[in-house]
Chains A and B, each alone.
Chain A
Amino acid sequence: MSNQNSIGEIVSKPYKYGFVTDIETEKFSKGINEEVIRLISEKKKEPKFLLDFRLRAYKQWSKMNEPNWAELGYPKINYQDIIYYAAPKKSEKKSSLDEVDPKLLETFEKLGIPLSEQKRLSNVAVDAVFDSVSIATTYQEKLAEHGVIFCSISEAVIKYPDLIEKYLGSVVPINDNFFAALNSAVFSDGSFVFIPKGIECPMELSSYFRINSGDTGQFERTLIVAEEASSVSYLEGCTAPMFDTNTLHAAVVELITLDDASIKYSTVQNWYSGNEEGIGGIYNFVTKRGHCRGKRSKISWSQVETGSAITWKYPSCILQGKESIGEFYSVALTNNYQKADTGTKMIHIGENTRSTIVSKGISAGRSSNSYRGLVQMGPNSKGSKNYSQCDSMLIGDQASANTYPYIRSQQPQSSIEHEASTCRISEEQLFYLQSRGIGFEEAVSMMVSGFCRDVFNELPMEFAAEADKLLALKLEGSVG
């Protein structure tokens, strides 16, 4: 069918962010051992508790086995062949952006994240992370006026050690899983956000992660704490250059909400996904978890996952506070040889808690796209409700779409509803649009965008448009 063929041709636009910044970097030698961990800690002038935290994690990690239940089928990773710390030289945090290496500013500008004063995105504060370190955080002063702390986690460790000691590792314990333990041992940078009681964060916060070195793993750590009756919206973006080797990215994100607080966490993940033959690309093994500790608190995850060779990611909510709310909105697009195993966990502990899951998976090429999610009603979750919807769209007959919802209930006075469907871009719909003078590519992209509408509606404005464009771009040449 001609339509079929041309759909197939739409997906393979070159990766726009695949350039490498030629910048002098300071790297540790390859491998991981206690010495490396001590060195990272020393480099960052960390207090003793954090070094202990890292060493405990390393000890745990050395005893753990790499998980294989997701059947992602990637070659064994040699953890001694990875550089655990890389930073642009002269990387001490700059007091003003003027001191930052112009090459770095240029890099972020190229990525569409202008950091310099004149060009900044209005009303979005950005923390830019390049390999292992944070380069710059914008609008810090303005946020400080409201009592909001937004800085890199290394800075927070020095400035607010009490907060870090109290919250770090409290949602994702060091021995939670293999990759979280690794991250806890070697995490280099990331963002820290603290919203004090009663404050609605005056602007969107955002972090941008960039991997530049080919042999360096990125292990960032994000911690967001929203005190009573506060709220914040946080965006995260990621890109990496094109290398024909695989790079490991193992991040941990922890969110904590107290009474009546809310956090909205949005991600547009566009790591390099490897070439058409599936060579190269990022292994994205991420642990993201939110803990609704307070009554009526809320955590909302929204994500658009288009990049990475392999994605292994389950942003979760622990709904402990009474009447707390968890949400998960996801679009995952896989093409060529990409593999995505993503979903969420909603653990209902408190009474009258509610959760909503909307997951849209699009698989094209020879990729495999799985939704894996857990909904659990604990014995005390009286009156709790969950609704999940997982839809998959298949493009071409060589891509696979899998759904693995795990549902467990121990509370009769709760209800769980799960729905899933699979479809494809139908000939009739295409014909309908084309016969009204809409070009083939546009028609496909309209349909895909319509399919994902429920999720895009949940993204912050700037992101929604970007995600839509990104999807159209990624799909180019794939439909068929």
Chain B
Amino acid sequence: MLNSNEWLTSLPDPKGKLKEVQVRGRKSLPNIDSPSKKNEIWRLTNLDRLKAIFDLPIAFKGSESEENRAEYWPDSPEPVFRISLDPNEDSIESIKLPEGIRLLNNNEIEQILGHVVNRCECNNNWLVTINKASSYHLLALKIQGRSIPPLEIIMPSYRGRLSSTRVLIILEENTELDLLQVFLGTNNSAHSNITEIHLDQEAKLNHGVIADGDGSSSLMGQILVEQKTRSEYYLTNVLKGLFLGRLEPYVVQSDGKAKTSLRGLQISNKLEQIGTYSNIRFDGPEGDLDQLQKAVATDSSHCVFNGQIIVPRHAQRTNASQLSRNLLLSSRARIDTKPELAIVADDVRCTHGATVSQLQDEELFYMRSRGISIKESMQMLLKGYCEDVLSSLPLKAKRWFEIDQLITSSKEST
């Protein structure tokens, strides 16, 4: 597997705002077990592809980014405020932010950065440490107020390079925000990203994450969230076109009494391997979770879902439901799904369910008997299946990808 010492020496010297973090990350990486098939969380991951990602040089100022030029991006509807986390931009500091949003100063960053990583118990997570050791670009925002304009954060990709980035978002008490994070991917590019989110009491975040690759790009992402009481966190993620995609949403309800909703859709074509590894922990009573994870696997692709829900003793009256629904559309494709419940509290309602199948014959028959062609029926059913998740994306996110095209390509491969 990856020789961490070799990789560390290939990195540029520590510098910038994240210098201290880089130093610490590089120091602790050799002490963390590298991914291996023997480790349950890596058992299903294609480790050769993972290794290939870390053979890529780190994207830096001056890296080629023609495919990512902003003029190719869809317009953002008013009043969306767009930030591009681009090492070619001279400095994020020069951006004029709307009212209610401000950049954290160095002092604050030193105090707060990594706090949510701790809370999510991710300090020994190999991917997190890799990111710490290599990320030079940080966007750290503090947000306060109820009428904040929706925020769009674009993570551009660089041909044949690994972009290692970090985002920190603090939502103060009573703040409401719509946020869309877009990971672009072309030409063997890769992303390593940690997004830390802290939701204070009664804060509400509607978070959309889109990873839209061209089939050759990869994503290794952690979304780490800490929720205070009465806060609400809604995550909708769509992963597609990733040669190797791995998204790890971690949510901790630190005092319970919060509401979490996770909706995920992963669509894999060709030889892609896309996985979601979620982990939700209730550290206080009366928490609420609603999770729906969908996957469509076609061609020779592979979709993986691993969903952990942890309900310790003090998390009484937790109400959690998790559903993993998978469509397997080709006999060469593969689906692995593993919902996991670990419960100690006795007064809880926890359910989970999982299904794997193809489109239902009865449903197809119903439509065909109404004169709709088989091709069209399949397309409609697939669209409806995906729409279930897509409809909860914020900020008209669908402008970032052609859903019809997506469905046609999945269907043609069946």
Query: B256-305: which residues lie under 8 A (CB-CB) from chain A?
Result: none
Cβ B330 vs Cβ A409 within 8 A: no
Considering the complex, give the chain B residue whose CB is closest to the CB of A420: B352
CB distance from A8 to the nearest CB of B (A): 11
Name the A residues within 8 Å of B329 (CB-CB).
412
A398 CB–B CB distance under 8 Å: yes
When chains A and B are docked, how far (Å) is the Cα of A415 from the Cα of B327?
10
List the one stretch of B58-66, B219-227, B236-244, B341-349 in contact with chain A: B341-349
Cβ B356 vs Cβ A415 within 8 A: yes
When chains A and B are docked, how far (Å) is the Cα of A222 from the Cα of B353?
35
B5 CB–A CB distance under 8 Å: no
CB distance from A310 to the nearest CB of B (A): 18
Cβ B351 vs Cβ A407 within 8 A: no
When chains A and B are docked, how far (Å) is the Cα of A268 from the Cα of B96?
71
Considering the complex, give the chain B residue whose CB is closest to the CB of A403: B341
Cβ B343 vs Cβ A411 within 8 A: no
**Of A69, A402, A406, A410, which one neighbours B334 at CB under 8 angstroms?**
A410
Query: A369-419: which residues lie under 8 A (CB-CB) from chain B?
Result: 377, 379, 392, 394-419
Cβ A408 vs Cβ B336 within 8 A: yes
CB distance from B246 to the nearest CB of A (A): 18
Name the B residues within 8 Å of A420 (CB-CB).
339, 341, 351-353
Cβ A407 vs Cβ B346 within 8 A: no
Cβ A402 vs Cβ B351 within 8 A: no
How would residues 305 to 349 of chain B score, 1 for a CB under 8 Å from any chain A CB and 0 otherwise? 000000001001000000000101111011111111111111111
**Of A392, A400, A415, A424, which one neighbours B347 at CB under 8 angstroms?**
A424
| Known pairs A399-B344, A410-B331; A405 contacts B350 (CB<8 A) | no
Cβ A397 vs Cβ B331 within 8 A: no
B40 CB–A CB distance under 8 Å: yes
Q: How many residues of B contact A (CB 8 A)?
A: 35
Cβ A418 vs Cβ B353 within 8 A: yes
Cβ B313 vs Cβ A418 within 8 A: no
**Of B348, B349, B356, which one neighbours A377 at CB under 8 angstroms?**
B356
- The majority secondary structure among interface residues of chain A is strand
Name the A residues within 8 Å of B350 (CB-CB).
421-422
When chains A and B are docked, how far (Å) is the Cα of A404 from the Cα of B40?
12
Name the A residues within 8 Å of B355 (CB-CB).
415-418
When chains A and B are docked, how far (Å) is the Cα of A418 from the Cα of B293?
14
Cβ B358 vs Cβ A413 within 8 A: yes
Name the B residues within 8 Å of A379 (CB-CB).
331
How would residues 20 to 51 of chain B score, 1 for a CB under 8 Å from any chain A CB and 0 otherwise? 00000000000000000000100000000000
Name the A residues within 8 Å of B345 (CB-CB).
394, 397
| Known pairs A397-B313, A422-B348; A403 contacts B339 (CB<8 A) | yes
When chains A and B are docked, how far (Å) is the Cα of A424 from the Cα of B346?
6
Cβ A408 vs Cβ B341 within 8 A: no
CB distance from A263 to the nearest CB of B (A): 28
CB distance from B315 to the nearest CB of A (A): 10
Cβ B339 vs Cβ A416 within 8 A: no
**Of B331, B343, B353, B354, which one neighbours A422 at CB under 8 angstroms?**
B343
Cβ B326 vs Cβ A409 within 8 A: yes
Name the A residues within 8 Å of B147 (CB-CB).
none
Q: A420-B353, A424-B348 are in contact. List 10 more A-B contacts (CB 8 A).
A: A394-B344, A397-B316, A398-B313, A402-B342, A410-B334, A412-B328, A419-B352, A422-B341, A422-B349, A422-B350
What is B's interface to A at a CB cutoff of 8 Å?
A: 40, 313, 316, 326, 328-331, 333-358, 414
What is A's interface to B at a CB cutoff of 8 Å?
A: 69, 377, 379, 392, 394-424
